[in-house]
Amino acid sequence: MKLSIIIGAFSQGLMWSILALGVFITYKILDFADLTTEGAYPLGAAVAASGIIAGMNPFLATFLAMICGMAAGFVTGFLNTKLKIPPLLSGILAMTGLYSVNLRIMGKANIPLLKVSTLITFVTGLGIKNNIAVIIVGLVSVSIVIAILTWFLSTEKGYALRATGDNMSMIRALGVNTNGMVILGLSIGNGLVSLSGGIMAQYNGYADIGMGTGTIVIGLASVIIGEVLFGSSSILRSLISVVFGSIIYRIIIAVVLAKGLVPTDVKLLSSVLLAVCLSLPLFKEKISALTDTLHSAKKVKARKAGEQNA
C-alpha cells in the first residue's frame, strides 16, 4: 500500500466529511432519511463550477453553492411539512427536480475546471504543494463547519432542532413550531451537502451531472462508521466521529481499489458496507447476549466448583 494512496484517501475523506456532516444533521439530528442529498451534492458542484468559470471569486462561488443547497433543503422541508408528503418521497421529488435544475445551471453534463482559480489554486499560490494544499482546504473547511455546528447545536434554537428529531410532540408541547425546525434542519443539512459538492468539484477539477449518485449511501456509511468506532457521547464528539468515519470509509474504498476492485463495482461495495453498518447494532446485541450467557455459565461453574471445595 502506497502512502500517497492513504494521503489521497485522507484528503478526500475530509472533503466528503462535510457531506457526511450534512447527512448527520438530517439523518441523526432530525431523524429524516433525506434523499435530497443526491441532488444537492451535484447542485453545489454545478453552482461553484459555473460561478468559477464565469470568473467569480472561488470563495464566493463556494459560498453561493452552500446557499443554493440550503434552498434545496428548504424545498424538501416545505414539501414534507406544509404539503404533508412523507420524508422519503419529499427527498425523491427534490432530488429528481434538481437533476433538471443542475443541468440548467451547468448548461451541459460536465464542466471541466482547468486553468481557473479555485480554492486549491489559492492555497498552492501561497507556495504550498498541491497534495498539502488539498489537505489544508479540507481541514480548514471541516474545522469551520464543526465549530459553527457545535456552537449552533448548543443554542436555544439548536436544542429545539435536536428535540424536534428526538421527540416532536414533546417539543411542540413546549411551544416550538416543529415544521419550522424540520425546514431549518433540512436547509442546514443540504447547505453542507452542496458545500461539499462545491469544494469537491474544485478538488476533482470538474463538475459532473452524475456525481450525486450514491452520495446518500456514502454519507450514511460515514456517519454510522464514525458513530460505531468513535462514539457519540457529546455533540462535538459526534461531529468529529463523522469526520473520522468519512476518512475511514475513503481509506476502505482506496484499499479495495488498490487490491484490484473494478471502480464501477465501488457503489455495490458501498451498499454492502452500509448494510453491514446498519445491521451492526443487531449483531452487537446478539454478541453481547452470547457473551452474557457464556459469562453466567462460567459463573455457575465457578460457584459449583467453590461449593465442592467447601
Query: Are 270 and 222 in contact, with CB atoms under 8 Å apart?
Result: no
Task: Show Cβ contacts of residue 252 under 8 Å, excluding neighbours closer than 6 positions.
Answer: 273
Q: Cβ of residue 158: shortest distance to another protein, in angstroms?
A: 6
CA 294 – CA 68 distance, rounded (Å)? 55
Where do contacts with another protein occur on this chain (CB under 8 A)? 152, 154-160, 162-163, 166-167, 169-178
Q: Cβ of residue 176: shortest distance to another protein, in angstroms?
A: 6
CA 51 – CA 45 distance, rounded (Å)? 10
Residue nearer to another protein on the CB measure, 80 or 178: 178
110 forms beta bridges with 208
Residue nearer to another protein on the CB measure, 92 or 239: 239
Residue nearer to another protein on the CB measure, 172 or 237: 172
Q: Cβ of residue 21: shortest distance to another protein, in angstroms?
A: 18
Q: Cβ of residue 238: shortest distance to another protein, in angstroms?
A: 10
Residue nearer to another protein on the CB measure, 163 or 220: 163
Query: Are 253 and 266 in contact, with CB atoms under 8 Å apart?
Result: yes
Residue nearer to another protein on the CB measure, 175 or 260: 175
111 forms beta bridges with 207
Q: Cβ of residue 276: shortest distance to another protein, in angstroms?
A: 24
Q: Cβ of residue 164: shortest distance to another protein, in angstroms?
A: 9
Task: Show Cβ contacts of residue 108 under 8 Å, excluding neighbours closer than 6 positions.
Answer: none
Q: Cβ of residue 58: shortest distance to another protein, in angstroms?
A: 29
Task: Show Cβ contacts of residue 238 under 8 Å, excluding neighbours closer than 6 positions.
Answer: 24, 28, 226, 227, 231, 232
207 forms beta bridges with 111
Query: Are 198 and 57 in contact, with CB atoms under 8 Å apart?
Result: no
Tell me the torsion sign for CA atoms 44, 191, 93, 33. positive
Tell me the torsion sign for CA atoms 75, 80, 82, 85. positive
Residue nearer to another protein on the CB measure, 147 or 275: 147
Residue nearer to another protein on the CB measure, 59 or 151: 151
CA 29 – CA 299 distance, rounded (Å)? 41
CA 205 – CA 118 distance, rounded (Å)? 9
CB atoms < 10 A from the CB of 203, how many? 20
Residue nearer to another protein on the CB measure, 101 or 184: 184
Q: Cβ of residue 144: shortest distance to another protein, in angstroms?
A: 17
